[in-house]
Amino acid sequence: MSGENNKGLYRTDALAEIEKRVKNWQETYSKERERLETFTTLSGLKVLPLYTPASAPNLDYLKDLGFPGEEPFVRGVHPTMYRGRAWTQRQLAGYGPAEETNKRYRFLLDAGAGGINGVFDYPTLRGYDSDDPEAYADAGRGGVAIDTIEDMDTLFAGIPIDQITISLVTCQPICNISVQSMFFANAQARGIPLNHVSGTSQNDFLMETAVSIAPGVLPPRGSFKLCCDAIEFCARSAKRWNPVSFAGYNYREAGCNAFQEIAFVMANALACIEEMLRRGLKIDDFAPRLSFFFSAHNDFFEEICKYRAARRLWSRLIRDRFKPENLRSRALRFHVQTAGAALTAQQPLNNISRSAFHAMAAALGGAQSIHVDGFDEALCNPTELSSLTALRTQQILQLETRITHTIDPLAGSYFVENLTNEMEERITGLLEEIESIGGIVKAVEDGWIHRAISDSAYEDQKGVESGEIPVVGINCYRVSEEPYKAEIFAIPETLAVQSAKLKRIRAERNAGQAQSALDDIKRCCERDGNLMEVMVESVKARVSEGEVSRTIKGFYGTWNPPLF
């Protein structure tokens, strides 16, 4: 058969016949009534009643899909995927003082979790000590309180940090620079070389400047610089650590749609790559360690296609722009968290079903690790029961459903391949738009990103309020009396515990050493050096996170983002 008679995977005459027959069928179909005026994906792409080979007629199997572990990685980043090793069950945990969270970590590991996913309390994430007047109400809330390296020692006491992978959900670079440094310093104190620890820190500058908007944060360029310091440090000295996890998940939670989620993380990642090259590193020195963090939201197929499209686009972008030799530099690896914003406070047990569907989309989309939300997400920090139920949801998915038995099982579906192509096109368009306005840092400085996120969040709310986006228990199938009363998790006392620790440490530590550690940080800022190189040493003098943040902000100043 000659190539001229073929188009993509199909014979041109067969394709023409299919197209003709589709038209005939559509005529019959259009005489029937449809249930909705328009059918779209959650992010607004039109969905047709039927997909056929004519829906992705140019698909070139070898070029566009390929094989698992091979470019363009649509079918997965590893050759064996879940047949070799299933995704890591990485349940988020953290609350109260480090002693308490250490217990929850051990509880989850004993229950079969494969790695740790540590989340920090609001003061830690924003760079404040527990006893700071700004932090008085939030210590221990939303995560574990970390003030000094002592808390880090307590947090990981008895946990083999050289044998399991650790994720530090540090969110903002202002938090990461201290917390990741404390983790590394703790590893050194335990006699573990930094090149032997495996894990990930979040460290995303958009989290500081565009997603959770507060006056007085680090300016975008300062925050971006801190993020890049960690990437550079790890490329040189902690080679198994993923120094950034571009937090598309959080952008999505703040209101982004599926294309924005991917386009914004990619714009962010591309900016980091440019900066690393400017600093003299080679693409293969750090690109294999850039990692991504995505949401799994309600639209099952849109989410699956989002992951597949993201892998293909990333692989091609990196190949074309940076020409890496290592194939791993082009493989997009990601963690998924099921969408918290999709869960309801009403009839909370329904969230178990929602999160199970979300997690299944993540697994069918080839995620490397997954967190499933607790069903009480919209009510409080997860209880032991809701944490365990979430973990069991993953285990049921992994062991009972057998979706792990073959790789990328939805490939070749006319709908899935068509939607994967469309998602890729939309993401590419948005990425080009960001680049045309000067890249991600500029888009943050100008408030472009803030406006985009805020607009999408409002659109979504209008969709729910008009009933266009059905949410069970919110705009349909409501109940007047809640049939199930969820237990509310009470955060253990934190402020008093942390205040006492800080008071003791400030009295006990060598004041001269502490001051000279802070001076080192200041001097490093002044000479535009790599802060993490200094910080891993400085935190050993038991300086607190708040002291470090104040020193850094003292040099970079603060920024008031636009409040949309």
Partner 1 sequence: MSPKKTFRILIAKPGLDGHDRGAKVVARALSNAGMEVIYSGLHQTPEQIVNTAIDEDVDAVGLSILSGAHNTIFARVMKLLKEKGASDILVFGGGTIHRNDWAPLEAMGVGRIFSPGTDTREIVTYLVETLPH
Question: Least distance in Å: CB of 422 to partner 1?
Answer: 26
Q: How far is the CB of 499 from partner 1 (least distance, A)?
A: 15
Output the 3-class SS for 247-283. EHHHHHHHCCCHHHHHHHHHHHHHHHHHHHHHCCCCH
Q: Does 92 bind partner 1 (CB under 8 A)?
A: no
Binding mask 307-346 for partner 1 (x = CB under 8 A): ----------------------------------x--xxx
Out of 75, 90, 104, 126, the only residue in the binding site for partner 1 (CB under 8 A) is: 126
Report how far Cα 104 is from the mean position of its chain's Cα atoms. Answer: 22
Q: 3-class SS at 363? A: helix
Q: Is 407 in the site for partner 1 (CB under 8 A)?
A: no
Directed axis angle between helix 531-538 and helix 545-556, to 10°? 150
Task: Pick the closer one to partner 1 by CB: 76 or 127.
Answer: 127
Q: Measure the CA–CA gap between 402 and 82, rounded to whole angstroms.
A: 10
Cβ-based nearer residue to partner 1, 73 or 122: 122
Q: Give min distance, CB of 24 to partner 1, in A.
A: 44
Smallest distance from the beta carbon of 63 to partner 1, in angstroms? 40
- Pick between residue 126 and residue 308 the one whose CB is nearest to partner 1: 126
Q: Which of 42, 98, 125, 166 binds partner 1 (CB under 8 A)?
A: 125
Enter the DSSP assignment of 200. Answer: E
State in angstroms the smallest separation of the CB of 372 from partner 1.
Answer: 19
Residue with tokens 């650790």: 166
C-alpha to C-alpha distances, 107 to 151, 166, 387, 445, 471, nearest whole angstrom? 19, 15, 10, 43, 33
Tell how strand 241-242 and strand 244-247 pair up. unpaired
Q: Convert residues 161-190 into a mask of x (bound to partner 1 by CB under 8 A) and - (unbound).
A: ----------x-------------------
For the bound state, the minimum distance from the C-beta of residue 418 to partner 1, rounded and expressed in Å, comes to 31
Give the shortest CB-121-to-partner 1 separation in angstroms: 8
* Residue 307: CB minimum distance to partner 1, A: 23
Asked whether 87 and 367 are in contact (CB, 8 A), the reply is yes
DSSP structural state of residue 118: E
Shortest distance (Å) from residue 545 CB to partner 1: 13
Our CB check for partner 1 shows the closer of 346 and 413 to be 346
Contact 386, 374 (CB under 8 A): yes
Do residues 64 and 75 make contact, with C-beta atoms less than 8 angstroms apart? no
Point out which span in 194-202, 374-382, 397-405, 519-527 binds partner 1 (CB under 8 A): 374-382
Report how far residue 170's alpha carbon sits from residue 117's, in angstroms, rounded to the nearest whole number. Answer: 10
Tell me the H-state helices in 365-488. Answer: 384-399, 414-436, 440-445, 448-466
Residue pair 35/29 in contact by the 8 Å Cβ criterion = no
Residues in 443-472 that interact with partner 1 by CB under 8 A: 454, 457-458, 461, 464-465, 471
Q: Which range of residues in 123-131, 146-154, 417-425, 431-439 is near partner 1 by CB under 8 A?
A: 123-131
What are the helix and strand counts (H, E) for the chain?
21, 12
Cα angle 555, 558, 560; round to 5: 165
Residue 103 near partner 1 by CB under 8 A: no
Nearest 5°: phi and psi at 93? -150, 145
Instruction: Find the part of the chain contacting partner 1 (CB under 8 A) among 128-136, 187-195, 298-306, 402-410.
Output: 128-136
Query: Where in 182-241 is the site for partner 1 (CB under 8 A)?
Result: 207, 211-216
**With respect to partner 1, which residue has the nearer C-beta, 268 or 347?**
347
Residue 502, classified by CB atoms within 10 Å of its CB into exposed (0-12), middle (13-18) or buried (19+), is: buried
Query: Which of residues 254 and 525 has its CB atom nearest to partner 1 in the complex?
Result: 254
**Shortest distance, CB of residue 460 to partner 1, whole angstroms?**
8
Report if residue 381 touches partner 1, rule: CB under 8 A. Answer: yes
> By CB under 8 A, which span of 7-15, 124-132, 257-265, 298-306 interacts with partner 1?
124-132
Q: What is the signed CA dihedral for 379, 382, 385, 388, rounded to 10 degrees?
A: 130
Binding to partner 1 by residue 136, rule CB under 8 A? yes
Q: Which of 8, 44, 57, 142 binds partner 1 (CB under 8 A)?
A: 142
Nearest CA among 306, 428, 288 for reference residue 366: 306
Sheet containing 334-338: order of strands: 88-89, 369-371, 334-338, 290-296, 244-247
* Shortest Å, Cβ 515 to partner 1: 27
Mask 244-273, x = binds partner 1 (CB under 8 A)?
---------xxx------------------
Please report how close the Cβ of residue 137 comes to partner 1 at its closest, in angstroms.
Answer: 4
109, 159, 378, 410: which one contacts partner 1 (CB under 8 A)? 378
Supply the minimum distance, in Å, between the C-beta of residue 212 and partner 1.
3
Nearest to residue 371, comparing CAs of 92, 155, 110? 92
**Rounded distance, CA 376 to CA 379, Å?**
5
Shortest distance, position 211 Cβ to partner 1, whole Å: 7
Quick one: how far is CA 509 from the chain centroid? 37
Strand pairing category for 116-119 and 166-169: parallel
Question: What single-letter amino acid sits at 372?
Answer: V
Distance separating alpha carbons of residues 382 and 388, to the nearest angstrom: 9
Distance, CA of 492 to CA of 548 (rounded, Å): 26
Cβ proximity to partner 1: between 24 and 480 the closer is 480
Q: Would you tell me which residues interact with partner 1 (CB under 8 A)?
A: 122-123, 125-126, 128, 133-138, 141-142, 171, 207, 211-216, 253-255, 341, 344-346, 378-381, 454, 457-458, 461, 464-465, 471, 473-475, 488, 491, 561, 563-564
